[in-house]
Every structure is written in C-alpha cells, then in structure tokens.
C-alpha cells in the first residue's frame, strides 16, 4: 500500500553568479531551507566554473550534497544578510521573525553583497533535482511572496545603506548603480553608514582610523564624510544630533559589473553569531597563503592589517571583517580593508583583538615575537613578513602623531588613542612628542 506523503508548500529561488546558475534554494512552509547545487554547475570544469565560496576549493565534496537548514539559511547565504540594527529594521518592515531568513533573502535578492543574485522561480518550474531531497514530503509549488520587493542587503551590525553617488555629488539611498534599478548608468555604488544613536561619533572615528591605516600602507577603497543633507531617500530611522555620515565606495561593484566577494564566516561555514570565537588569524592566513594566486602578497598585507588593529585598538576585526574578492571569478584574493574602527572608546576596559593570534588576544602583550609565531604556525617566511611590519611601524610613527591633529575624530577619542599608543609593547609604541 502506498504511503501518503505529507504535503508542504515550497517556493524557490534560482541563484546565479554572472551567467552561471549555481543552484536552487527552496523554502518549505514547515521551515526547511534547502540549497542544492545545480548539476550543470557541479560538472563544469574548474577552469570554467565561477567560485561561489572558497569552501568548495577547500573541500572537494562541498558541492555534491544539499545544504539543509531550519528557518535560517546555510551560512554561505545567511552571511549575506544584515545583523543588528539593520536586521531589526528590515524584519520590522517585512513583519517576519528575526530567524526567518528566506523572506529577507527574497527582499534583498537583486542587491546582495558580492556577485550573487537570486531570481524567483515561478510555481511549477522548480527543477526536480532541487526537490528530491525531502522524500517524506510532497512539494506543492507556490509563487515566491510578491510582497517581498527587492532592496539592498549589506552584512554588518551598523545601520548602513547601499547608495548611488549622483553626478552632483549627492547620494541616493537604496539605489545601486550596478544593480537592478540603475544598471548601466555612470553613477558609482557606495555604502553609507549613518551616525549611531548608541555610540557617539562613529563616522568620524571610522574615517580617521581608515585614513591612518591608509597612511601606514593599508589598501582601502575610496572613503569620505558626507553631510546628511546630501542623502536622498534616507529611511525614517532614529538619528543623533550629528551632521555627517561615513561613505565608502563598494569594491564589489566595478565598471558596471558585480564582483563576487565573501567574508571568512562564509569561508568557514559559520553563522554570524560565531564570528568571534570559532577560528583564529592563523587559519585565515593559511587559507589565503595556500589558495590565493598571490598568497605571499596577501599575507604581507594581512600582517600589516593585524598590526594596524593593534596600533588602533580595533577589537572588531572578526571573521566577517576579513573578505576575499574574486576578480577573475575563480580565485580568491584578499579584499581591500574595511570596518577599521578605534573601538576602545565604545567598549569599557577593552584590551583584545577579535580573534586569537599566536594563542593571544591582548594587544598590550603582543610584540614582534607574536607575529613571528603567527607566521611560523602558517608556514610563512618570517623575513618576508617582518619587512612589511617594520615599514608599517615606520610609516605610523612618522605620520600618525601629526596626521591625528588634523583628522576629524573628536578630541576626547584622540586623547584615548594617544594614551593607547603609550601602553603598547616597546616594539609597537608610538611617540606623541612632536
């Protein structure tokens, strides 16, 4: 006697990287989300297959199995969605639960970070290979909820918005110059971070930290401070009595094209809640060194950034604040730096970087010996790293004390930063005497 299967409604999204269908994400009314990679994508020769995630390079079998989750999406997709205040704002707008991620992906499907896009699959057109992984359920195909219109999605905790920079210099919030609404225009795609009602003067802090980092040899995108009056279509959100937002040009949008990127929470298949504790800086370095076609160059830049995070007391360089970029659609390179902030003014008694390095987090205990251990644990030639650390230190010591005077960070935070420089190990200490 045939066993009657339980019927469950299912909606589907087709996932694309440029011209290649990567797979199909199905969402069942019972809460299951299943990502199945397209057979055509899986069987493509590696030389012709766009890379979705470095994980598929680390693990040969990654593409062969469906990724099944309840309520949340698989980490490779979940990490495309925002956290914190921006997530709360989106879930309120959509009237969905914080853990119910499929509607969030539907809502943001045309302007996800990186190169991935998602297209709604009409009812009846979800391919069989995407449905045959729930043997006890009869799938009843339905349309993707039409009320979930496309919008921007930017991973992170701060309130931030995708924007198009206009010819007159202003910014139009919610429009992506390389996305669905303004595709093939000459406008530029930027990210706008508005002032926080919780932490004071974050735009000024981040702009200053990024400029200091750049002066010490860190590769960053174009950045600027923008008067709030220059922002068009800014959503009705609470704002403090501060006049400027922080703007950073998107490196995942170039010359009218999406450029694929992913952060290391995606690489390591972790949810954002695990971005601080599950991995360390040696593991990030190991992945870059062995899988980037310019591995040593990327490690040298990573070493500079690690040192900068110590010098700038940035305790937030977690897995989601390290990313790779696929300029050729296949091979991962270390992306430009972003989210470098002097975090100590916002965290009482903070003394630690975000992840372990050489089994230590305390930036007042770190020295050149810490970096030597980090390099040796990853199999990196120490002399090739040391020369870049010395160059970073020399640039910081020569330029920062004078630069800081003229940068817009508020004076109370400048006092704290100068005091931090004096407490560092003698290897890294920066004199404030001009």
Write out the DSSP string of 94-111.
HT--TT-HHHHHHHTTTS
Task: Look up the pTM and report it.
Answer: 0.92
Whether the per-residue pLDDT at 139 is higher than 70: the answer is yes
Whether the per-residue pLDDT at 181 is higher than 70: the answer is no
The structure tokens 């043997």 sit at 135
Between residues 50 and 2, which one has the greater pLDDT?
50
**Which of 67, 102, 137 is where one domain is finished?**
137
Lowest mean pLDDT among 87-101, 143-157, 186-200, 220-234: 143-157
Q: Is residue 37 part of a domain?
A: yes
Whether the per-residue pLDDT at 431 is higher than 50: the answer is yes
Question: How confident is the model over 276-296, as a mean pLDDT?
Answer: 95
Tens-place pLDDT, residues 96-137: 888 899 999 998 888 899 999 999 999 999 999 999 877 667
State the pLDDT at residue 146.
Answer: 55
Q: Is residue 143 part of a domain?
A: no
Q: For the chain, give the number of residues.
A: 434
Q: Is residue 86 part of a domain?
A: yes
The structure tokens 């050149």 sit at 368
Whether the per-residue pLDDT at 151 is higher than 80: the answer is no
What is the residue range of 359's domain? Answer: 160-249+280-423
State the pLDDT at residue 158.
Answer: 59
Whether the per-residue pLDDT at 183 is higher than 60: the answer is no
State the pLDDT at residue 180.
Answer: 46
Cβ atoms of 206 and 214 within 8 Å: the answer is no
Distance of CA 91 to the CA centre of its chain: 20
Whether the per-residue pLDDT at 177 is higher than 50: the answer is no
The verdict on 115 and 212 lying in the same domain is no
Q: Is residue 105 part of a domain?
A: yes
State the pLDDT at residue 3.
Answer: 56
What is the C-alpha separation between 217 and 305, in angstroms, rounded? Answer: 9
The verdict on 286 and 348 lying in the same domain is yes
User: Residue 178 — φ and ψ, nearest 5°?
Assistant: -115, 20
The verdict on 316 and 168 lying in the same domain is yes
Cβ atoms of 38 and 23 within 8 Å: the answer is yes
Lowest mean pLDDT among 58-62, 152-156, 351-355, 427-431: 152-156
State the pLDDT at residue 20.
Answer: 97
Read off the pLDDT band of 94 (50, 70, 90).
Answer: confident
Whether the per-residue pLDDT at 172 is higher than 70: the answer is yes
Read off the pLDDT band of 157 (50, 70, 90).
Answer: very low
What is the C-alpha separation between 314 and 340, in angstroms, rounded? Answer: 7
The verdict on 301 and 211 lying in the same domain is yes
Mean model confidence pLDDT for the chain: 90
Whether the per-residue pLDDT at 7 is higher than 70: the answer is yes
Q: Is residue 107 part of a domain?
A: yes
Whether the per-residue pLDDT at 188 is higher than 60: the answer is yes
Whether the per-residue pLDDT at 184 is higher than 60: the answer is no
Active-site residue set: 316
The verdict on 46 and 178 lying in the same domain is no
Q: Is residue 328 part of a domain?
A: yes
User: Residue 425 — φ and ψ, nearest 5°?
Assistant: -55, 150
Helices (H) then strands (E): counts for the chain: 12, 19
The verdict on 284 and 383 lying in the same domain is yes
The verdict on 130 and 186 lying in the same domain is no
State the pLDDT at residue 1.
Answer: 41
- DSSP β-bridge partners for residue 77: none
Whether the per-residue pLDDT at 2 is higher than 70: the answer is no
CA distances from 30 to 15, 27, 99, 139 (A): 22, 8, 14, 11
Contacting residues for 248 by C-beta, under 8 A, at least 6 apart:
190, 191, 193, 210, 221, 222, 223, 338
Tokens for 378? 């990853």
**Which of 137, 152, 179 is where one domain is finished?**
137
The verdict on 51 and 191 lying in the same domain is no
Secondary structure class of 210 (helix, strand, coil) = helix
The verdict on 100 and 223 lying in the same domain is no
**Rounded-to-10 torsion of CA 121, 124, 126, 128:** -170
The verdict on 203 and 125 lying in the same domain is no
Tokens for 113? 């970070």
Tokens for 294? 């310019």
Q: Is residue 45 part of a domain?
A: yes
CA distances from 3 to 68, 135, 273 (A): 24, 11, 41
Question: How confident is the model over 216-245, as a mean pLDDT?
Answer: 94
**Which of 102, 137, 172 is where one domain is finished?**
137
The verdict on 178 and 57 lying in the same domain is no
A 10 A CB-CB count for 274 gives: 15
Number of domains in the chain: 2
Whether the per-residue pLDDT at 182 is higher than 50: the answer is no
State the pLDDT at residue 91.
Answer: 86
State the pLDDT at residue 434.
Answer: 60
The verdict on 298 and 404 lying in the same domain is yes
Q: Is residue 272 part of a domain?
A: no
Q: Vertex 299, ends 323 and 271: CA angle to 5°? A: 30
């Amino acid at each position: 006697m045939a066993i009657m299967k339980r019927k469950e409604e299912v909606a589907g999204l087709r996932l694309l990287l440029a011209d290649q269908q990567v797979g199909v994400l199905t969402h069942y009314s019972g809460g299951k989300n299943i990502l199945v990679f397209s057979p055509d994508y899986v069987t493509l020769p590696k030389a012709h297959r766009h890379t979705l995630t470095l994980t598929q390079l680390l693990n040969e079998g990654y593409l062969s199995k469906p990724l099944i989750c309840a309520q949340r999406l698989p980490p490779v997709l979940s990490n495309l969605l925002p956290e914190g205040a921006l997530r709360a704002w989106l879930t309120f707008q959509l009237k969905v639960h914080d853990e119910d991620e499929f509607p969030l992906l539907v809502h943001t499907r045309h302007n996800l970070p990186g190169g991935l896009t998602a297209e709604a699959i009409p009812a009846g057109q979800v391919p069989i290979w995407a449905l045959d992984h729930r043997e006890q359920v009869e799938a009843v195909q339905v349309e993707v909820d039409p009320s979930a219109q496309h919008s921007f999605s930017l991973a992170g905790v701060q309130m931030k918005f995708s924007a198009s920079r206009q010819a007159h210099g202003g910014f139009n919030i919610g429009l992506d110059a390389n996305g669905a609404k303004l595709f093939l225009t000459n406008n530029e795609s930027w990210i706008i971070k508005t002032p926080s009602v919780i932490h004071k003067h974050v735009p000024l802090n981040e702009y200053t930290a990024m400029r200091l980092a750049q002066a010490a040899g860190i590769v960053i995108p174009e950045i600027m401070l923008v008067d709030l009056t220059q922002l068009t279509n800014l959503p009705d959100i609470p704002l403090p009595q501060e006049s400027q937002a922080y703007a950073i040009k998107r490196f995942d949008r170039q010359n009218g094209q999406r450029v694929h990127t992913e952060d290391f929470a995606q690489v390591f298949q972790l949810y954002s809640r695990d971005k601080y504790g599950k991995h360390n800086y040696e593991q990030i370095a190991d992945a870059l060194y062995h899988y980037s076609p310019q591995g040593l160059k990327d490690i040298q830049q990573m070493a500079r950034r690690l040192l900068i995070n110590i010098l700038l007391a940035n305790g937030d360089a977690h897995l989601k604040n390290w990313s790779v970029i696929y300029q050729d659609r296949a091979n991962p390179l270390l992306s430009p730096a972003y989210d470098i902030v002097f975090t100590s003014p916002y965290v009482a008694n903070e003394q630690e970087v975000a992840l372990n390095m050489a089994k230590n987090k305390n930036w007042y205990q770190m020295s050149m010996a810490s970096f030597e251990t980090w390099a040796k644990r990853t199999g990196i030639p120490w002399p090739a790293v040391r020369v870049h650390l010395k160059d970073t230190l020399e640039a910081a010591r020569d330029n920062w004390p004078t630069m800081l005077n003229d940068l817009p960070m508020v004076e109370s935070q400048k006092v704290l930063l100068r005091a931090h420089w004096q407490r560092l190990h003698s290897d890294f200490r920066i004199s404030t005497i001009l």
